[in-house]
Structure 1
């Protein structure tokens, strides 16, 4: 269909090209070949009498005219979507929808992994993709690279809706044979022991506990830095090292590794994990259903705070030792 010589089908291609600023990335987003997307760009250049995308160094950049077209193009497509496009009914039992998450390995372990078991039964035809946390998660959401961002609340945006999944606090984790774990976990003992911590990406972004300790000017002896939460126990076992770990994650990994736990000897704020989606997807029935099911899974996965001497039953019970301080504060 054409409107004043413009093929309206090209509007979708224009939006993808303006957003991605790359023919290959736009092709992936449009599920078209790169040659077909290049052809669409050529027709757009002819209509607007402007190059729209030009090569600068090793990357493509938008021309001034292209910059001017970003918001009007998005507004037109959004109006069409809201007023003309009729969303089909969503049936989770038969839907073959693909939902893309962005989440850390911690969130994947404690929430998305059990959720995938649930979805395998409740939505057997649906497909799921889990991407690692990027340096600009909200931007990935807005670009449409992911459907749901599941992360700590302070990493989300007030411009988009979100739903609280769960809250989590921290425990000190050490090897089951570490004699320091037999003692009362005081601040002095905690700070004197070697630590394992997590930092992410080339920028070495610290995990929340690491950032919080720096902010409070508490000096820890960091002996090992890793890029993944779930690798921490393997770097603790057989050593005097300890780590400050999310309670939900510690409970799960404590069934795989010989660990002992103690309460953190000072106050550290809990983390709030939320699911966030783009405001333009607020009426997406599939996303609404997935968020609701995630919430149910999160509520079912609430870890208990065991009394002193508690040992969970499991296949590795002989290798697991749990130790909670008798007078530990309850949060």
Structure 2
């Protein structure tokens, strides 16, 4: 099919090429030969009168014009998917749909089990895949890689709709046999202790470090950092170190590990955990069902 002399099938190829920046990777993703995708790129270059991607050394780099097209092509495909390809009705007990959710291992530990419990009780046939954390998670929505983001409010994009799921406070966990567990945790003791901290490589600005430094003048001495929220509590065992983590996660981990939960010696605003979806998918009945299920799961977390 052509629209103003453009073969619309080429839009999918263009979107993939601009995302992967590789003919080999793009061809594998589209299940086609590299030569066929290279031919599609040639036709796209002729139509737009621009190289779109140029070879520099071993890498393909997007041209300024290609960069300008990237978001518009992705939005066009998202719009087609949300308005034409997605079925207007959604039956959770008859669907074969796979939902992709971007969320941390903390969320998968404290919230997702309650969601899956509701899904099971409702005999829903949908399936779920959870995506690893990345920088700028809203780009996962733009590229169509994620159906839904479950993220703190400070990572929410202003370009897409979102809802607050719940609020989460923070506490400290220490080894229950440590000296620091035997008395009240003061700001001085907190500052002097070693700390175990979750800090994914993709996050450029750390919430805790910036908040503590700017508000309380505290710069923590980090003895260990990790990419996993759920690994943090176990890493204080056998030491005098402290981990500052989500309250619900602390309560779960204290049932498994020899940990003592201590209140923070200062106030930190609670985290607002949000769900976010693409602006073109407001009327996606499957996502509406999933969002409602997540809200019910959040209500059940403390029961």
**TM bucket by the smaller chain?**
0.7 to 0.9
Establish whether residue 289 from structure 1 lines up as the match of residue 297 from structure 2. Answer: no
When the two structures are superposed, what TM-score results if normalisation uses the length of structure 1?
Answer: 0.79
Q: CA deviation at 1:79?
A: 6.4
Q: CA deviation at 1:285?
A: 1.4
Q: Is contact 2:74–2:143 with CA below 8 Å preserved after alignment?
A: no
1:325 paired residue number: none
Deviations for 1:131-172, whole angstroms, at most 9, x for unmatched residues?
A: 221122122221222221111101111111011111011112
CA distance in 2 between counterparts of 1:250 and 1:27 reads 45
CA distance in 1 between counterparts of 2:78 and 2:142 reads 13
Q: CA deviation at 1:297?
A: 0.7
Gaps of 5+ in 1: 304-331
- Mean CA deviation greater in 127-136 or 217-226: 217-226
Gaps of 5+ in 2: none
Shift of the 231–81 alpha-carbon distance from structure 1 to 2, 3 Å rule, reads closer
CA distance in 1 between counterparts of 2:23 and 2:161 reads 30
Q: Larger relative CO (CA 8 A, sep 6+): 1 or 2? A: 2
When the two structures are superposed, what TM-score results if normalisation uses the length of structure 2?
Answer: 0.86
CA distance in 1 between counterparts of 2:136 and 2:79 reads 27
1:16 paired residue number: 16
Deviations for 1:37-89, whole angstroms, at most 9, x for unmatched residues?
A: 34433443454454432212332223455456446645765665677557342
Q: Is contact 1:45–1:52 with CA below 8 Å preserved after alignment?
A: yes
CA distance in 2 between counterparts of 1:102 and 1:271 reads 17
2:219 paired residue number: 219
Compute the RMSD of aligned alpha carbons. 2.8
Deviations for 1:165-220, whole angstroms, at most 9, x for unmatched residues?
A: 110111121112123222122223333333222222177753x3333222231133
Q: Please identify the structure whose Cα radius of gyration is greater.
A: 1
2:91 paired residue number: 91
Shift of the 219–67 alpha-carbon distance from structure 1 to 2, 3 Å rule, reads closer
CA distance in 1 between counterparts of 2:302 and 2:284 reads 28
CA distance in 1 between counterparts of 2:108 and 2:86 reads 33
